Amino acid sequence: MITQTKNSQVPDIDEDRDLELETVILNLMIAQYQVDKLRSRLSERVGGYGSASNKKGSAHIFKHNGKRYKVTV
């Protein structure tokens, strides 16, 4: 015969879920996945850290799989 006993040391906790917070966290996880995917695709197409130009522009440097990449627009 199996009997169920309640452990008096474990409190009975009612969990209230914050759906808005869960949505924000999920969106952040999706965004991070997309950034990783885009960095991977970009690193496949670019030859690596090349020489810099003297022209003004916007530059972004990122690291993927141990290699550094610089994208200047």
> For 27-38, what is each residue's pLDDT tens digit?
999 999 999 898
The answer to whether residue 70 is domain-embedded is: yes
Q: Which residues pair with 64 in a beta bridge?
A: 67
H helical segments located in 1-73: 19-45
The answer to whether residue 20 is domain-embedded is: no
The answer to whether residue 10 is domain-embedded is: no
- Residue 42: pLDDT band (50, 70, 90) is confident
Q: What is residue 31's predicted lDDT score, i.e. its pLDDT?
A: 95
Domain range for 73 is 31-43+59-73
The answer to whether residue 14 is domain-embedded is: no
The answer to whether residue 53 is domain-embedded is: no
**Based on the structure, what is the number of domains in the chain?**
1
The answer to whether residue 25 is domain-embedded is: no
- Residue pair 39/65 in contact (Cβ under 8 Å)? The answer is no
Q: Is the pTM of this model over 0.75?
A: no
Q: Is the pLDDT higher at 56 or at 65?
A: 65
The answer to whether residue 65 is domain-embedded is: yes
